[in-house]
Structures are given as structure tokens and as C-alpha cells.
Structure 1
């Protein structure tokens, strides 16, 4: 080998050595880079695994705590997984027993369910599916389902999943609400009162009664505001109350106002307005009930006029009674004096028959005087002059017994202590005096007995005055309370006493009646309002 060949070989070996060093350097750099990349990848994979585990834990928690039921099944309907809400809804636990969703389908919804499942497989999802299902104990629930298909990496369907919500109670409430709405609509439409729903003065709904009251149809009224059918001055007054309602100061108010009809006429109506508020208490709507009171107001006007005329007539009658009684008493007194003088002046020449005739004339004059006094007493009983004060009836009766003449053979007994009531002392004394006087005067028994008692009711006092006298025939029970009606021919019997009693009792919004049996006695019952 020549030196030249050796030199060439050395240069080749040197180049090869340099190339190997370079390759080793590149391999060393690439190995280092690969190591660093591998280390980084390991770290990233660990982070990814940690994150996946965290997300899996979160999803599992979400799955278990989902309020709605979650069901995962294969395409044959076998349930693979279900959360706690699903276990509670259907009553099955797939960890203890197998479950196929076909067994849950309500028999009348079977075809609908199969068609919906076919649509799910074909289209990949469906929403707002509603159907009835059986629970384990054969209860029936109505459910709402949103479902989707799960596919493998080759896009082939392998399973189905769905969120199931129990809407049984919700549907019941909805149907109940709808039924109540129908009932309310029937009530509103058939109400005799006009009903208007408005929003800030704009009419948004009316019923038939209101349309008939104003002579407009529904469409015409919906184009109007409340002020368009109101008298301007009266609307202003109502608007003040409406402003208070909008500010939350009041929730309802009532006002009497006039409305303008389609033909230009008006009518008076009682209008009751109530607020329908939002959750923030602002007014959403105003509901008004309108009652036509035109005729009622006219009746009240006529009644007021009648009352005024009646008061005037009563006063005139009272004045007339006093004038007439004065005019009647004057000649009676003169007649009494003249007859008395005649008896005294001609007693020596008058025979017994003449004397008896004069006595009969004097008795008739005396009876006429009693009658006139009775008329005055009856005419003077007037509610307007009746001051209210606390009256002890025990004392009133005691004073009355002292006033009237009580024969020795008659006993008056008060069974219970009489109450203290509000009234007029003079009128109440008149009441008891007339009743007790009658019971004493007409008692025909050797041992007369009069009992006074009372009972208390919620709204009134009820009294009873019972005697053991001759009794009153039933045919006279109503007659005896009429003016000038009497069943006695006694000279002092004017037929006014019990009329006065009845009139006083009526002033106290009470009533009077009797129970009586001939030869056994009579009981007068009467009530006085508290």
C-alpha cells in the first residue's frame, strides 16, 4: 500500500470518526429532547388523569344528586344505570333486580312509546315526550322525558339515556287551575255585576253585564280608557284613590260614580276597585265591580222625602192631639161643673132616677177624660225624644208597684233579679205600669198572683208577666193591642193601655205576644233589643 493510499485511508477514517461523533452528538441531543418530552408527557398525562378523575367524581356527584331522574339503558330497554331520583320515582333498584323499561310503559300508551323510541333511534334525540308510566307498586305517574342516543366511535348507536321528570302533581295543579279558570269565567260572564279589568286606566277585559250596562260590545270597550266612560269631575275623585292604590297606600276602595252609556245617557253605579299586584307589590291590574244603583238611589231619595213628610205629619198629629184634647177637655170640664151644680141646686126636687141619670152622665164625662188622656199619652210616644241611659228595671218595677194600687189579696213576685238595660226611664215605667195595672185590675181570684221574670238572649231581653186571672179568649189576643179596643166595659178601660205598651216595645225593636187560658190566667211575653 502506498503512502498515498494510507493518507487517503487516514482522511477517510478521520471523516468517519468526525461523522460518528456528530451522529452521536445528534443522537445524544435527540435522546435528551425525547427524555424531556417523555418527562413532560408523563406529567401532562398525570394531570390529565387527575383532571379526568376529578371530573368523573363531579359528574358522579351530579348524577347522584340530580333532582330529576336519570336513566341509561341499552337499545333493548334493559336499564344499565339510574340515579337516586330514578330509584325513588320508579321504585326499582337495578343493583338488586333487573329492569326493562318496557315493563314501565302504561298499556294505553304502548304504541305511542314504541313509535317515540323508534324516532329516538332514527333521529338521535327527542324532547318534551310525555307519557304515563307504572311504578313498582303499580302506581301511575305522568312523566316528561328528554332523551338522546349514545354512539360508539364508529357512530353506531349502542345505548340511550334520558332525563325523566315527574309531572303528575304539576299536571293535576294545571288541570285544577284550568278548571278553576273555566269556573271563574262562567261566574264572571254570568255575573249580574259589571266586571272590568283595567291596566293604568286602559280597559283590557269586560264581562257581558258591563257591556250591557254601557251599550258597547267587547271590541269597542277595548279601544277605550276608563276616563272615556266616566263623568269628568267624578273621574277626578276616583283618580285620587287610584293614585293611592298605585303608590301602595291602599289595596281597594269603593266609590259611587256615574258612567256614560253609548247613547249618551248616564247611570249611577257603586264601583268597588281592587288591586292585582306583582311580586314587587306594584300594580299589575285593577279589577272593578260595577253595580247599577240608579234605582236604589232614587228609592233612597223617595224614602228620605217620605221620612221628612212622616216626621212633619207626626209632629202635626202630635200638635193636633194636644189642641184637640185641650178643646175637648174644656167643654168636658164645663159639662162636669154644670151637672154637678144642677145636682146640688136641685137635689131636693130631683127623684132617684134623675139623680142616677146625672151620675151616669158624670161617669161618661170621666171616661171621656180618661180617653183623652190616653190619646195624649199614645201620641206623645216618639222615638225621637228617647234618651238612652242605663235603667235598673228592678227599681223601675219597685217604683211602679208603689204607684199603682195593689189590693191585699194580690201578690206580685219577681222570680229573678231584673237586669240593667239602656233606655228611657219614663217609657219603661209606662210599659210595666200598664201591664201590671191590667194584671191587678182584672184579677178575679181570691188569692191573686202575678209573677215577673226574664231570660237573656244574644240580641235581646225577653220578659214575662204572668197572672192567674180570668184569662183572655184567643179571638181577642190580637185585638187587645189595637187602639181603643178593649174586652172590658169598666169605666177606666179606654182601650189604649196595651196599645201604648206595644208602641213602646216597638221603639226598642221588640215584639209582644200572649199565652192565655180562660179561668187559669194570662202571660204577657215581650222582648226589648239590647
Structure 2
């Protein structure tokens, strides 16, 4: 920039000196001839005056000599006046020239200030394309200082693809006077920054003719990179907006409150079956489509939003479609305020919720139906419980009678009964007990889900100790409980039934009860669920029977060998599922069995473990 200022200052000083020299030369050219003529005429007049004076002394005084003397004196006076006028005019011209020079200098300074403070880049080149001036805006835009580029070819500011064509283009223009850029107004081009990245520019070039016939070219460049990026961002935003509105299948509306005009998107109209020209873009057209029963609430929502009670709203109303049917619409919108807080615009979307409203109505009807069915089911369950109680009482009573009668018969005939008869009587009573066990198992299974499921804090360590105290395990049969049993928020009674049933089975079906070992352990699955494991070292279960053991009335051993109803694991599975968990079996024949089941924990806190020491 300093170099630009120095060059301009030197140019202005040189012009000023040249102007002063020219003015002085002009004054000399104008004044010297008059001074020469004046000098010669004065000399001639002096000669004539002296001659007349001599004649006056030698001859008598006559009128003609007096007249001639007067004319000569008049000529001298005229000559002096003319000389003074010429001098005055020359001085006036000189001062006019000085004022012109001052105005010219001021104009040049203004132009220089404009160039140096212009927001646009201004670059001057000569006929060879060499940069002669480079204003501060150009330095800022291109990243070069004036000293770096002045004296270089202007192609250094161009992209590689354009730089090698510039000199040939300028040469053709100098020869033909025809160009595609010079003198044709602004044109969009690309320029190169000092770091190599490309800039989008508007370029206008004008030509100047110097006094010596040389030509200069002034280029004005405006960086439009941000505008181009803004245009690209706007196009991308519009494309994204169009894609979103098409993808969501929502209609868009935009209400200009200052003019009353409303823009309804094509989707807004087609979702009601209307063509583009069927609906006018104003509020009256919208108002005419709203169901009369819904219009009041809609107006209240819009007015509340306009008056600043809220900046957004969501309402539902019915709109009449082209088939003269009403569709339920959810209208959502926002209000835009001006600087003074007055509403100037509202915009939002329309979503057709007719199917959702219908589905909601169907769900409400289903809820009513389900409530009626639940009441009927509750009555049915009550009747079932009553039936189960009556059935169990009516079935158990004859069984007890048979058992008692068999016992009385055996006592009455004790002296005459053979061993075979006694064995048959014992078998009869065992079948009665089995039948009673089956009845109890069926009742227990039917009541799962209707037993006490109240959620409470359950210390599983203490619960297992209580269960072990109630089990009749053989001497040498060992049951180990892990020391980190958690405290759960769950149903106590069902969980107790699961543990008791699994531990009873481990004792009942073990092939070496005198040296058996069973372990109960736990691990957290996640923050809300625990997995318990009951593992034994008994005979194991072959994989093909893993599903069968959970089916009702299914046993793997003959009932004459091990008395069983085949209901226990079925009840366990149902209880675990009622608690929200699941149960699995990991076993192989000859390698023991491990039953794993999960129990959700409803505690909000972290894991809490029992401090009960297993006995």
C-alpha cells in the first residue's frame, strides 16, 4: 500500500511540475511578442518625437506638426494600455491555471482515497499485463502485499487453467480491439488466493488512454465467494425443506399477517383432494373449509398466539375435502414478531390424523370391551376358584374314605390277611395319595397368577435359610448358599415356591443323597435383573428331555420308583414367567443339573446384598 501511495504521490508531483513549466512557457509566448512590439514602437515614437522637436526649432510652428505630435503621443498611450491589458490577462490566466491545478490535485487525492478505501479490489495493469497498482482491498482479498505482486504479470492472480491464456487474450485485444471482458461490464470469474484456494469474483475491466498514447487497464474485482456459498446453502436448504415436506407427507402453510395472504403448499391442497387453483391463498378460503363446530377453538388458538400469549400452538380440527367429507387435521404453527413485538407472520404444518383419530376411537371401544371382558373373566376366575375348591373337596373326600376303609379292612382282617394282600392294600393307599397329590398339583397350577403377587423387599439370603429349615434333607446332603444373595423388590411367596420346588427336586431325584451337594448362586444380568442358579451333582437329564420336564404331568422316573405328580416344574416355569423372568435347564446325563432363572428387580437403588449367613 505504501508503494501505491508513493507512486501516486510521485505522479502527482511530476504532473504539478510539468503543469507549472507549461504555464510559464505559455505566458512567455504570449507576453514576449507584445513586449518586443512595444519596445520597437516606443523607439520609433521616440525618434519621431525628437525629429519633430528639431523641426519645431528650425521652422515656424504649424498646426500639422502639432497634429502629428499628438497622434504619436496617442499611439504611445494605446501601446502602454495594450501592454498592461496583456499582462493583466496573462496574470489572470496564470491564477486560473493555478486554481485548476489545485482542483485537479484535490480530485486526484479524492480518487486516491476512494481507491485506497474501496471495499472492492482495484488492480491496474499495462499493455503487457504487468501490475502497476494494487489497492489495500486487493491485498486483503488475495492475501498478497502490493510489493509482492507489483511488477509481476497479472496471471499470478488467476487459476492455472486461465493464467496461460491471459497474455494471448490481451495481445489479441490490443490488435483487434475486440474482447469478451474488457468494457463489457461485470462478469463472474475465478481468481487464485496466495495460499492457492480459488475465489469467486465479479470482474469489470475498463481501459484508459494516457497522454503519451499508452493504454492502461483497470480491473475492479468483488469477492462473491460468501454470496455463492450462501446461494448454495440456500438451494440446499430449499431442497432439504422440499424433501422433508414430501417425506413427511405434511402440508405446509405460511401466513403473511401484513398482507393477509397465505401460502398453501401443493401437499396441503392435495391431501384434501384439491387442485392447485381450487383454493385461494387467503384466510377466508381456510376459514370456509373448517368445520363450524371447530372454528371457534381454532380462532382462539390463532388469536392467543398473535397476542403473544404463546409463541407456538397445536390444535386439531376438521377440514372439508373436495368430496365434501371432513378430515381430521392436526395444525401446528409458530408466530414471528417484528422488532416492536407485533406479529407479522405465522407458519406451520397440517397433518392428516383421521386414521389416528379413528384408531383412537377404536382403541377406546376396545378398552370398553376389554374392561367388560376383564370383569367377565374375574367372575369366571372366581367361579373357577369356587369350582376348584368344591371339586377338590368332593374328590378328596372319597379318596380319604377309600384310604380309611382300606386301613380299617386291613385292621379287621389282620389275622387272616396274607402278605400279598397287605402289599396290595398298601399299594391302594399309595395310589390314593398319588391321586390326592395330582389334585393338589392341578389346584396349585391353576392358581398361579392369582396368588399373592404383592411387591415387597425380599432378602433372598434369609428366604433361602427359611426354606432350608423346612426341608427334610437326608444326612450328608449338603446345600451351599452363596454369601452375596441380593435384596430384591419382588413378590415373596411366588419366589419362595420356586426355590422350594427346585431344592425339593434336587433332594428327591438325587441318586447319591448321602453325599450329594447342591449350590445356590446369583449373578446380576443388568441393573434391573438377577439370574439365580440351583445346581446339583445328581444323575443329570439328557438334552432331549429338557423341554419335557417343564410339561405338566410329565416325569422321567417311574412313579413306582419315585413318587411324583409331574406338576412341580410346570408350576415353577409358570411362576417365573409371571414374575417377568425365564427359566432354562443346563444338564447332561451323568453330569448333574443346573436350573437358571431370572427375576426382575424393581429397586431404583443399586444392588443390595443380604448379610444373612447361610446355615
TM-score range, shorter chain: 0.7 to 0.9
For the 8 Å contact 2:158–2:190, the answer to whether it is kept is no
1:501 aligned residue (558, 566, 572): 572
CA distance in 1, matches of 2:288, 2:551: 59
Deviations, residues 188-240 of structure 1 (Å, cap 9, x unaligned): 33x263332332797623354x6554222343355575544444444544555
2:516 aligned residue (447, 459, 471): 447
1:73 corresponding residue in structure 2: 125
User: Is 2:261 the partner of 1:194?
Assistant: no
CA distance in 2, matches of 1:121, 1:388: 92
Deviations, residues 103-129 of structure 1 (Å, cap 9, x unaligned): 668449969x88999999899854441
Q: Secondary structure at the match of 1:131?
A: strand
Give 1:79 shift: 2.7
CA distance in 2, matches of 1:430, 1:42: 122
Deviations, residues 143-196 of structure 1 (Å, cap 9, x unaligned): 212444446699x9943323212334543453354245335434433x263332
CA distance in 2, matches of 1:312, 1:241: 42
- Residues 124 and 472 (structure 1), Cα distance of their counterparts in 2 relative to 1, 3 Å cut: closer
For the 8 Å contact 2:396–2:436, the answer to whether it is kept is no
1:324 corresponding residue in structure 2: 387
- Residues 342 and 488 (structure 1), Cα distance of their counterparts in 2 relative to 1, 3 Å cut: same
1:518 corresponding residue in structure 2: 589
The number of residues matched between the two structures is 508
CA distance in 2, matches of 1:157, 1:284: 63
Deviations, residues 334-372 of structure 1 (Å, cap 9, x unaligned): 214422442354332374255235413431342144224
1:528 corresponding residue in structure 2: 599
Give 1:71 shift: 1.5
For the 8 Å contact 1:196–1:289, the answer to whether it is kept is no
Q: Secondary structure at the match of 1:380?
A: coil
1:421 corresponding residue in structure 2: 488
Q: Secondary structure at the match of 2:412?
A: coil
For the 8 Å contact 1:416–1:453, the answer to whether it is kept is no
CA distance in 2, matches of 1:302, 1:316: 21
For the 8 Å contact 2:501–2:568, the answer to whether it is kept is yes
CA distance in 1, matches of 2:537, 2:316: 59
For the 8 Å contact 2:482–2:521, the answer to whether it is kept is yes
User: Is 2:477 the partner of 1:410?
Assistant: yes
Higher mean displacement: 125-134 or 318-327? 125-134
Q: Secondary structure at the match of 2:497?
A: helix
CA distance in 2, matches of 1:503, 1:176: 61
Deviations, residues 265-310 of structure 1 (Å, cap 9, x unaligned): 34456x3725375786965421344454256335534642453255
1:300 corresponding residue in structure 2: 363
Structure 1, unaligned runs of 5 or more: none
- Residues 213 and 288 (structure 1), Cα distance of their counterparts in 2 relative to 1, 3 Å cut: closer
Higher mean displacement: 199-208 or 516-525? 199-208
Q: Secondary structure at the match of 2:465?
A: helix
CA distance in 1, matches of 2:297, 2:385: 51
CA distance in 2, matches of 1:470, 1:246: 81
1:263 corresponding residue in structure 2: 323
User: Is 2:155 the partner of 1:97?
Assistant: no
For the 8 Å contact 1:473–1:517, the answer to whether it is kept is yes
CA distance in 2, matches of 1:341, 1:103: 117
Give matches, 1:187-226, under 5 Å.
187-189=244-246, 191=247, 193-199=249-255, 204-206=263-265, 208=267, 213-221=271-279, 223=281, 225-226=285-286
For the 8 Å contact 1:453–1:465, the answer to whether it is kept is no
- Residues 54 and 157 (structure 1), Cα distance of their counterparts in 2 relative to 1, 3 Å cut: closer
CA distance in 1, matches of 2:555, 2:458: 31
CA distance in 1, matches of 2:392, 2:476: 36
Instruction: Give the alignment's TM-score, normalised by structure 2.
Output: 0.66
For the 8 Å contact 1:90–1:134, the answer to whether it is kept is no
1:397 corresponding residue in structure 2: 464
CA distance in 2, matches of 1:202, 1:427: 68
- Residues 137 and 151 (structure 1), Cα distance of their counterparts in 2 relative to 1, 3 Å cut: same
Give 1:510 shift: 2.9
For the 8 Å contact 1:120–1:126, the answer to whether it is kept is no
Deviations, residues 445-497 of structure 1 (Å, cap 9, x unaligned): 33222232122415533333322233333333334444555545558744444
Q: Secondary structure at the match of 1:524?
A: strand
- Residues 44 and 107 (structure 1), Cα distance of their counterparts in 2 relative to 1, 3 Å cut: closer
For the 8 Å contact 1:79–1:100, the answer to whether it is kept is no
CA distance in 1, matches of 2:558, 2:331: 63
1:334 corresponding residue in structure 2: 397
Give 1:322 shift: 1.3
CA distance in 2, matches of 1:239, 1:430: 63
Q: Secondary structure at the match of 2:581?
A: coil
For the 8 Å contact 1:332–1:365, the answer to whether it is kept is no
CA distance in 2, matches of 1:366, 1:475: 30
CA distance in 2, matches of 1:192, 1:417: 53
For the 8 Å contact 2:253–2:347, the answer to whether it is kept is yes
CA distance in 2, matches of 1:116, 1:466: 99
CA distance in 2, matches of 1:284, 1:403: 75
Give matches, 1:100-115, under 5 Å.
106-107=161-162
Comparing both structures, which one devotes a greater share of its residues to strand? 1
2:187 aligned residue (122, 129, 139): 129
- Residues 138 and 223 (structure 1), Cα distance of their counterparts in 2 relative to 1, 3 Å cut: closer
